[in-house]
Amino acid sequence: MNTNPARLYLDHAAATPLAPEVVDAMHPYWSGDFGNPSSIHAEGVTAQRAVDTALHTIASVLECKASSLTITGSGTESCNLAIRGVARAAKRANGSSHIVTSAIEHHAVLNTCRDLQEHEGFELTEAAPDKHGLLSVEIIEAALRDDTALVSIMYANNEVGTVQQIRTIGQVCRERGIPFHVDACQATGQLPLTVERLNVDLFTLNASKAYGPKGVGLLYADPRIPLAPVITGGSQQLNRRAGTVAVPLVVGMATAIELAERQRETEVPRLQELSAQLREGLSVLGGTLYGHPTERLANNISVGFNGIDGETLVLYLDAQGISCATGAACTSNRTEPSHVLTAMGFEDAKAKAAVRFTLGRSTTATDIDRVLEALSSVLKTLSPA
């Protein structure tokens, strides 16, 4: 699915190409079936029917009611709605003003929590991970207070691929009656998404990491959890999120999520095999592998080489036709070391050395050989004398 066969794309944690099935599903709603789903005429009814079908498709994957799903404009917006919506509602209802998250969250979560701390009087606890990026359930449990309004922990880390103990953390939160939000934007097609089995109350998804369109996201919210709207205006989506729903994007998102779930059983083992091949080769080249050795996403490999800046390495590989990243795409234009690796205990030089390869449906064993060959050459050029 690479758009240019001459290039090798290994940054699927940042964005994925549209699956052909997604393109086909979206096509009718760009022009022919263009109606506003809030309208009561035939065109509007057709549009609303498409949205309803899409939501039921996603609900079947999450094993939840379609009415518990809210369409947003991105994963970032979904995280904002979950965190701000629950925190503000709890504070208004009973004065709860404490939030628990982790120091390795995506900035969509971390900076939202910090903003509530700085501007709205919330107290914030940021749990630190171990050296592999794994969060301790005991540390999170110890951070809970009687006035904790929300716990927000990511399913899998976007930079180093470590998968968290979501089900156990969720059970702890349920026993305390504290809403539990999970950012699952990296999980689609790689990890189970059944919300009840995961013990989650709020669940953020998007499509752009799963061969779906950009510009659309999703929030599952247990209807028993009070949720104050963040975007106000019209009464769309049961007053949870105002604004006209982008029908083609919703249809594309649903198609992508359903397809990813259908392929997960065969795709994950394939990616695990390719990742093992790449990790072994990186170790031979002297790389330091970041993240948990076993509790990790199948497609995510994070590595650093002593004395070599990660951004420089990415640019050299880019010149050889290989696309990878230094970390989250949302912060790739910043010069600070990775906040994830820093929280994991790595010094700045190690954190700045990190390079992330994220494999996809098009990745082959031959591609892995090409990466390792290119890396070997680049490392000889960049290695300190």
* Segment 164-217, tens digit of pLDDT: 999 999 999 999 999 999 999 999 999 999 999 999 999 999 999 999 999 999
Map out the domains of the chain with their CATH numbers: 8-17+264-382 (3.90.1150.10), 20-259 (3.40.640.10)
Q: Which two tokens stand for residue 21?
A: 């099935």
Report the predicted TM-score, pTM, of the whole model to 2 decimal places: 0.94
Q: Which residue has the tokens 């106000």?
A: 232
* Angle at 365 (CA atoms; ends 294, 356), nearest 5 degrees: 50
* Segment 80-136, tens digit of pLDDT: 999 999 999 999 999 999 999 999 999 999 999 999 999 999 999 999 999 999 999
* Residue 333 and residue 282 in contact, taking contact as beta carbons nearer than 8 Å: no
Question: What confidence category does residue 149 fall into, taking pLDDT thresholds of 50, 70 and 90?
Answer: very high
Sign of the dihedral through C-alpha 205, 94, 137, 344 = positive
Residue 281 CB contacts under 8 Å (≥ 6 apart), including other chains = 368, 371, 372, 375
Name the nearest CA neighbour of 131 among 290, 340, 344. 344
Max Cα distance, the chain (Å): 72
Question: What confidence category does residue 72 fall into, taking pLDDT thresholds of 50, 70 and 90?
Answer: very high
Given a cut of 90, is residue 14 above it in pLDDT? Answer: yes
pLDDT at 48: 94
Active site residues: 330
